Amino acid sequence: MARNKFDVDEELEEGFNASHLKRIFVYIKPYQKPIYITLFVILLANIAQMAGPYLTKIVIDQTIPNQDYTELFWIAVIFILSVVVTGLCMRYRIFSITVIGQDILKDMRTAIFSHLQKLPFSYFDSRPHGKILIRVVNYINMLSDLLSNGLINLISDILSVIVTLGFMFAIDPTLTLYSLALVPVLFLIVMIIKTAQRKAYQVLSNKTSNMNAYIHESIAGIKVTQSFAREEKNFEIFSDVSDAYRESWMKAVKIQFLLWPGVQNIAVMTTCLIYYVGIRGLGVDVSTGTLIAFVGYVGNFWNPVINIGNFYNALITATTYLERIFETLDVEPDIKDLPQAKIMQPIKGNVDFNQVYFRYEKGKDILKGTDFHVEAGESIALVGPTGAGKTTVINLLSRFYDVNDGEILIDGENIRDVTLHSLRSQMGVMLQDTFIFSGTIIENIRYGKLDATEEEVIQAAKIVRAHDFIKDLKDGYHTEVKERGSTLSAGQRQLISFARTLLANPRILILDEATSSIDTKTEVLLQEGLEKLLEGRTSFIIAHRISTIKNSSRIFYIDNGQVQEAGNHDELMAQKGYYYQLYQAQFDLLQAL
């Protein structure tokens, strides 16, 4: 799969549809009870707020002309109570909505992060990690206002419109119809703007993703940048990426801001229309109090309509991010448990590759009928030219990928018929790319066995000869290391990673260039510790140093997708075949040095 880059826009594989909005309610459903309580409080606030204009009408048309001071007093008390009730309800609404919204966002963020843990290597190989990161952080955060305020506020505003219309129709139905005369104009404006706005925010989403990807890549490669004095060139590239983001943002907000003034102008024109109709008496006969009350209700009607318009704006914007989020959630893991998968019982370590075929790309087989049997407890070294399929063998055994044809058995059990967790939890894998997490050294070593005691950690470190340098650090095993272990040498990182793998006490041990960053002296000490550890375990070792694999039970020379030679070091040297040539080439190189 071709890798998407920071300067390539991501195309949506599937456009937006209404089901995306429906999927939001999957995350809202667990919070139905607090939402219903909040909506009841909002309805109570709306009713209390609507009392103001109606009380004003009574005072102007009835109380003041009749000089009824007792009635005026009680109306004032009712008015003050309505203001207090409205204030208390709004305070509860703000707090409740914020809590519910953030809980929903947390659930969505958890869902996408959990899903990412299950996706295959090919997904992460096909796009910059910055474009993946932005989905978990930025895009979810972009939905914050929509979910924290938007949805419940939308319902609140709809209730407000309904309650307001109820009061308006109760006072004067004809004047109410005049108040709604310009609503069709609003819908026309919305229909014109929505398509252009969504497209503009799709472009903005792409440019945001591109910029995030380039920043992430630049930070990850900062040492290389400074080593080759590329700062100025990288700044030029960043400027171009940043300019593209700025231009797309300006275009998107220009379109977005067209709606608000449109709704605002319609609201003002409606107020003017009410004054004109009320004063001229065009089909209506209203008192001064009624006219003033209606103007207040028109404001109460159009304010939530404006809010609904703003919500629609936010919704159109949010759909762009929802498309990206659900696109990620819809990516099916290539490697997953079959419906009938069972728990793999404790394994002995017999491994069989039966006529295994595998390809990363269509029409280009890496393994071509690979066939071999390994007895439990054997240590198998895999050697051969670059790209021959050595790493592919261990990736298939670990089920990071599935075979295209053939089968892989452990103790006679097809690894596709068991759960991934029960398989991988009994295997120790140390890949060529060593990764150290931020935290203490002891936490890094415990990564594969969280319940390990400190004594067990120290014992594993001693076996791989990591203990000697760890104990000399400032805080020993509790020394804090930075992300990727940047404060440690490459060899130290590999020793810690090796201890982490060994601590898991695997029945099958896989080492892919595990000693590539360890100096020769340390490697000799490491081999001494490994001899004891490898007893009784099945192990697969990939290494370019012949010294690392000479003592293996058997050596497989892999080339052209098959095992070309198999045997121990002495047997293969006697054959004077591929392995003999490889050994001689390394020996001659060492002699030349």
The CA distance from 530 to 539, in Å, is 11
Residue 343 confidence (pLDDT): 93
The CATH number assigned to the domain with range 346-426+509-515+541-593 reads 3.40.50.300
Residue 3 confidence (pLDDT): 46
Number of Cβ within 10 Å of residue 69's Cβ equals 10
The first and second tokens of residue 443, run together, are 């936490």
Domain locations along the chain? 18-329, 346-426+509-515+541-593
Query: Which of helix, strand or coil describes residue 446?
Result: helix
The CA distance from 367 to 382, in Å, is 14
Query: What parts of the chain have a pLDDT lower than 70?
Result: 1-21, 145, 147-152, 259-260, 281-283, 309-310, 313, 317, 431-433, 483-486, 514-533, 547-548, 589-593
Name the architecture of domain 18-329: Up-down Bundle (1.20)
Sign of the Cα torsion 389, 393, 394, 398 reads positive
* 480 bridge partner residues: 440
Residue 484 confidence (pLDDT): 65
Length of the chain measured in residues = 593
* 558 bridge partner residues: 563
In what side-by-side order are the strands of the sheet with 364-374?
Answer: 364-374, 351-361, 405-410, 413-414
The CA distance from 293 to 278, in Å, is 12
Residue 516 confidence (pLDDT): 61
Residue 419 confidence (pLDDT): 93
Please choose, from the candidates 473, 523, 472, the residue with its C-alpha nearest in 3D space to the C-alpha of residue 494: 523
The CA distance from 533 to 498, in Å, is 12
Residue 2 confidence (pLDDT): 42
231-256 and 288-329 helices cross at what angle (nearest 10)? 140
The CA distance from 544 to 515, in Å, is 9
* 430 bridge partner residues: 511
Q: β-strand 427-430 against 508-512: which pairing, if any?
A: parallel
pLDDT by residue (tens digit) across 523-532?
665 666 566 6
Alpha carbon distances (Å) from 93 to 82, 86, 87, 322: 16, 10, 10, 25
The CA distance from 537 to 483, in Å, is 32
Residue 531 confidence (pLDDT): 67
Scanning the structure block, which residue is given the tokens 């609201």? 267
pLDDT by residue (tens digit) across 349-367?
999 999 999 988 777 888 9
CB 81 within 8 A of CB 294: no
Alpha helices in 117-230 (DSSP H): 121-125, 129-136, 138-142, 144-145, 151-171, 173-179, 183-220, 222-227
